[in-house]
Structure 1
Amino acid sequence: MTAYRRRILDKSLDELQPHLRALAIFGPKGVGKTATAVQRAQSVIDLSLARQREIITADPSILKEVPGPVLVDEWQRLPEVWDHIRHAVDAGSPPGHFIIAGSSAPRGAVIHSGAGRIVPMRMRPLSLTEREVDAPTISLAALLESEASISGTTRIRLADYVEEITASGFPAIRTLPPRVRRVELDAYLTNVVQREFPEQGYPVRKPEVLRAWLSAYAAATSTTTAYSKILDAATPGLPNKPAQETTLAYRDALSSLWLLDAIPAWIPSRNHLERLGRSPKHQLADPALAARLLGLDASALLRGQQGQRRLFEGTILGALFEHLVSLSVHTYAQAAEAQVGHLRTRNGDHEIDLIVQHPDGRVLAIEVKLADRVADADTKHLAWLRDKLGSDLIDALVIYSGERAYRRQDGIAVVPLALLGP
């Protein structure tokens, strides 16, 4: 058996789980939720097994009686178990007793929110630091506290980043040979369409239309393209396109499966800016899923092929690199109790790829650049935001694919993605 490799989330779990009576780890299938949770569990109730569901249905009190911590895995297979756990918490279950893992409840299931009883935590695919491609020298948490030293060099180059984009952050997939990875990722997507959607209460009458919509969504990676345009791109030439409600159902089902990881528009906590866009920036749970939906492997990306990319004036590789950056920043920010958004003015004059908001309301602004050098033109939006926010801007940086971390004369930091860590 392969030894367990700690995740960034483990540090938060070390601190919080012993004190919380119930904690839920959410995330897409294959991300490592069970592997992480089982490290902390004395007992496991696996609700993917019919026999286990039958036992809990017959006698929910077993949840309180088994030695804790108890992991309740695949809880969405028996949605009422959520309320059983909530009642057990209300009845005085000891701290650290329940760990829940799985997806959201199927559509139509009526359950209590769990607010005040069950604390949710999200697990994403492996960040670049968790993949151990290089040792990070710059901490996002330190940047948020104005304590980071900007230094270091990396041997990671563009081809290495492309490999990480296509390898995926799913632990059981990324170490496989390239052809096997492609087969596994294709099977993952097929399973989503043919099995996961129906299990979540969303019957799929035309699987080919859903698959086309997923491909169009992938083509819109790292953009704020309207859902209506995504649907148009997915169904060219069809006289009777699916209704808008169908598109929203796709979005809701994918969200419940944690397969969408859209970046919300940043809303300032202080009144510095007006006329900001409110549309989210589209991203799937992992850039490798987007690459597979577009039929692009590492060699195709390095040749500059675009696949089905029609919705955005720019390269798909640049969009996928931004996706890889966002996946990592999301993970590091969650560990630092920070929130991630993006900024775009309504007229499109100014854009900031990522805004990381400190709990006190101040922000770290990040631009992403797929290049081995950074020019003045790459920092103009960061300079604009610095003028607008003043002291509420903690720091500004460009994450790029070059080799050296340094600070420019204008004060903006330049950081290779491989050197950024939690």
Structure 2
Amino acid sequence: MDYLPRIIDPVLESALRGLPAVAIDGAKAVGKSATAERVAKSILRLDRPEEVTILRADRDRINRLERPVLIDEWQLDPPIWDAVRRSVDADRAPGHFILTGSANPRNTKIHSGAGRIVRMRMRPLSFAERGRAIPTVSLGALLTGEVGAIEGETTIGLDHYVDEILASGFPGIRTSDESTHATQLESYLSFALSREVPALGAMVRRPKALEAWLRAYAAASSSTASFEKVADAVAKDVRPTRVTIGDYREALSQLWLLDEVPAWVPFGSELSRLGRAPKHQLADPALAARLLRASRDTLLHATTTADRAKAYQRIRKGPLLGALFESLVTLSVRVYAQPVGSAVSHLRTHSGDHEVDLIVEAPDARVLAIEVKLASDVDDHAVRHLNWLQNKIGDDLVDRIIITTGRHAYRRPDGVAVVPLALLGA
């Protein structure tokens, strides 16, 4: 399988030129190993028992291999983290180690690695990384305020976005035969819930309860629905307790399968009374679509079975496609924000009067506000929250963007940029 270039590639290469050790975190199958292998000179694969046995007998082996040394699936032998830290303490030269992991070890004491091992997150493929279109608008340039003209045209339309939601951003799944995507996603979820969650120490007495709760969580994608409301959408005969749900959330977060968007906490602005609830997202919208048994036809025509529609509507209003399109946009924006060191959050007032889907905050505290619309056209009503935010924080808001499913990128007379997802890149 040909390697799909990733936006994180130059970020990793730059980090290795200045740092002794880098850890790449992310869900299984996002491409961490393939990315790291491109720059590693030596590889230790800890999913092979013989490698772990040798390494446990000879921890100093990592210092005799040609560098950079890739230690793949390091969480399978947690003490190796501290061995790397001690090696870095002895020699701070850059480019020694790359650690990749698809889970955070539970109930295992490891040093934070602060100052020795820098962690970076890898997510599934953004839309730009999938090669469907050439972006004409740079998120990084938008954050500087020097983006120039907003322009570009694409042939990508709504049906293409639906195909991408279902195809997944996991490289190995999307590049396989299209007829097997659903089966592979089903297998991915089954393995995570039946094997990986229990392996992290979570007590799964009733596997159906875990699956039912995760399905309800998927239905809450792109919403700030309370966890009580999510739990209430689960049938009573399999509804887990609050304590059990806490265990589920912790384990799924450790596997990087939950990827909640935190609420924005502005510093020193005129904003007050903002909500603190996270916005729910899974690592990949394809996982949510599979859990909800969504297909191309059901998404495009807003049809589903009565039972699933009932459970979904208990949590949020609106079509499922709108929520999953926002999930795809959110995934992509998070990937584009990484090279410029920007954090991604969302804004919602306590009263719910104002919401902004995504807030991208640069290291210098300048802010980019993004709304997501499952539409090709944008009217004045669609930009009201963006304009409200500009009135509140003034020059701290470097730009206002609406991401659509349309064909053209342009700037409205009121200054709001309208950009199809296919034309947005890093």
TM-score by length of 1: 0.97
1:200 aligned partner, one-letter code? L
Residue of structure 1 in register with 2:291 after alignment = 293
Q: Tell me if structure 2 keeps the 8 A contact 1:185–1:292.
A: yes
* 1:278 matches 2:256: no
* Alignment partners' CA distance in 2, 1:381 and 1:341: 15
Deviation per CA, 1:226-278: give whole Å up to 9, x if none: 112211212x233x843211111111111110111110000102232000000
Q: CA deviation at 1:410?
A: 0.8
Give the SS at the match of 1:394. strand
Partner of 1:145: 144
Letter in 1 for 2:166: T
- Tell me how far apart the structure 2 counterparts of residues 206 and 100 of structure 1 sit (CA, whole Å): 34
| 2:91 counterpart of 1:99 | no
Within 2, Cα distance between the matches of 1:242 and 1:162? 32
Q: CA deviation at 1:27?
A: 0.5
Number of the residue aligned with 2:200: 200
Alignment of 1:20 onto 2:24: no
**Where in structure 2 are the equivalents of 1:165-204 lying within 5 Å?**
165-204=165-204
Query: Secondary structure of the residue that 2:120 maps to in structure 1?
Result: strand
Question: Equivalent residue for 1:268?
Answer: 266
CA RMSD across the alignment:
1.2
Q: What's the counterpart of residue 65 of structure 1?
A: 64
Whole-Å separation in 2 of the counterparts to 1:304 and 1:266: 31
| Alignment partner of 1:409 out of 413, 419, 423 | 413
Q: 2:256 aligns with which of 255, 258, 265?
A: 258
Contact 1:25 1:102 (C-alpha < 8 Å) held by counterparts? yes
Identify the match of residue 331 of structure 2 among 327, 330, 339.
Answer: 327
Written as runs of structure 1 = structure 2, the 5 A alignment for 1:149-168 is 149-168=149-168
Q: Residues 82-97 of structure 1: matches in 2 within 5 Å? A: 82-92=81-91, 94-97=93-96
Aligned-pair distance for 1:3? Answer: 3.2
Q: Check the 8 A contact 2:344/2:359 in 1, yes or no.
A: yes
Task: Indicate the residue corresponding to 2:107 in structure 1.
Answer: 108
Structure 2 residue aligned with 1:11: 10
Partner residue in 1 for 2:40: 41
The residue aligned with 1:74 is 73
1:352 aligns with 2:356: yes
User: What secondary structure sits across from 1:45 in the alignment?
Assistant: strand
Deviation string for 1:113-169 (max 9, x for gaps)? 111110001110000010011000000000000111200010000000000001000
What corresponds to 1:221 in structure 2?
Answer: 221
1:38-82: CA deviation from partner (whole Å, max 9, x where unpaired): 111111111111111111111101011111110000111111111
Question: Deviation string for 1:361-420 (max 9, x for gaps)?
Answer: 110000000011001110000110010011111000100001111111111110000000
Distance in structure 1 (CA, Å) of the matches to 2:360 and 2:97: 31
Listed as ranges, the matches of 1:360-399 within 5 Å are 360-399=364-403
Deviation digits for residues 328-381 of structure 1 (CA, Å, limit 9, x no counterpart): 000001111111000000000000000000111110000000011001110000
- Quick check: 1:118 aligned with 2:117? yes
Structure 2: runs of 5+ lacking an equivalent: none
Tell me the percent identity: 52
For residue 58 of structure 2, what is the amino acid of its counterpart?
D
3-state SS, counterpart of residue 195 of structure 2: helix
In structure 2, what residue type is equivalent to 1:142?
A: A
Structure 1 unaligned regions, length at least 5: none
Residue pair 2:213, 2:240 contacting (<8 A) in 1 also: no
Deviation of the 1:4 alpha carbon = 2.2
1:127 and 1:101 map into 2 onto residues whose CA distance is 20
In structure 1, distance between residues paired with 2:396 and 2:180: 48
SS in 2 for 1:115: coil
| SS in structure 2 at match of 1:162 | helix
2:30 partner letter? V
